[in-house]
Amino acid sequence: MEIIPAMIKDPIYRVYEQRLSHWVRHRPVPHHLALIVDGNRRFARRHGLGHVKHGHQAGANKVTEVLGWCEELRIPVVTMWALSTDNLSRDPDELVPLMGIIEETITGLAALQRQVRLPRRIKVVGRLELLPESTRQIIARAEEETSSYQGYQLNIAVPYGGREEITDAVRRLIADRLTRGDSLEGIAAGLEPEEIGRYLYTEQTPDPDLIIRTSGEVRLSGFLLWQSAYAEYYFCDAYWPAFRHIDFLRAIRSYQQRQRRHGK
């Protein structure tokens, strides 16, 4: 079910959208855009869609559209947070259809990359061992099918938690160093942030420049805790399924208007 705000059909709105798009296109865009795609359940309730799974489906449908906007601006890296580790504790009545939607979306995105002008390599990040076997197989297939694409990447965070990522990174680092014969004392004495960074789920991916969260919530909820140290944030009131092109452009414009110092 698609719900189109009346203002999108307004000619004045369309003119404003075109001018904003022109403004954004002539200025530097983020190299890595991260998205907290929040508000699917509230969208379903607000529009009387019945079961919240319809909100999740509407959110899944929005993904391809937003990726198209990113392609238009040639944004190289996009990360979308689709499911948190906390979400796994939701009622099975919601979680089971949600996992099915995630599987269908990942499969569809992998197939889509064969058709778009700037195909993206898909990488799924998170505690994959917590997912059903069927989901892990679909993820592996999508990553394999898109592994040859270079220059553009789509990270899908599922199931993801920022604290879990850092914990897993430190655990992997220690295990790796111990296999090399290092002592725990030696590991602790020489530990540096750059080394921990190499063990994160997003290893070899640049840190995000801009993080957008939809639904009106003004918090990160642990998203990319380590990587977001110098990211710019933009919080949008629209629920994710209702996230408009103009909302996207405003977020990019806000980023372009900021002076980034990276702590200097």
Q: What is the mean predicted confidence (pLDDT) over 250-257?
A: 98
* End-to-end Cα, the chain, rounded Å: 48
Q: Kindly name the residue from 87, 168, 176, 182 that is annotated as catalytic.
A: 87
pLDDT for 107: 98
What does the block give as tokens for 181? 């014969």
pLDDT for 13: 84
Q: Which residue has the tokens 């906390």?
A: 86
Q: What is the mean predicted confidence (pLDDT) over 12-37?
A: 95
CA 230 to chain centroid: 17
The β-bridge partners of 232 are 210
Domain boundaries, given as residue ranges, for the chain = 29-160+201-256
Residue 162 to residue 174: CA distance in whole angstroms: 19
CATH number of this structure's domain 29-160+201-256: 3.40.1180.10
pLDDT for 1: 42
On the question of pLDDT at 4 being above 90, the answer is no
On the question of pLDDT at 24 being above 60, the answer is yes
On the question of pLDDT at 122 being above 60, the answer is yes
On the question of pLDDT at 3 being above 60, the answer is no
Q: Is 87 a catalytic residue?
A: yes
3-class secondary-structure state, position 48: coil
The CA-based angle 74-29-205, given to 5 degrees, is 75
pLDDT for 2: 44
pLDDT for 264: 65
Q: Using alpha carbons, select from 57, 152, 55 the residue that is nearest to residue 112.
A: 152
198 half-sphere exposure, CB direction, 13 A CA radius: 8
Q: Is 38 a catalytic residue?
A: yes
pLDDT classification of 164: cutoffs 50, 70, 90: very high
Q: What is the mean predicted confidence (pLDDT) over 16-20?
A: 94
pLDDT classification of 186: cutoffs 50, 70, 90: very high
Give the predicted TM-score (pTM) of the model. Answer: 0.93
Label the pairing between strands 153-157 and 210-213.
unpaired
pLDDT classification of 49: cutoffs 50, 70, 90: very high
The chain-wide mean pLDDT, for the chain, equals 94
Looking at per-residue pLDDT, the higher value among 123 and 8 belongs to 123
pLDDT digits (tens, 9 = 90+) for 67-106: 999 999 999 999 999 999 999 999 999 999 999 999 999 9
Q: Using alpha carbons, select from 176, 182, 149, 209 the residue that is nearest to residue 29.
A: 209
Q: Kindly name the residue from 38, 40, 207, 209 that is annotated as catalytic.
A: 38
Interhelix angle 133-145/92-112, nearest 10 degrees: 20
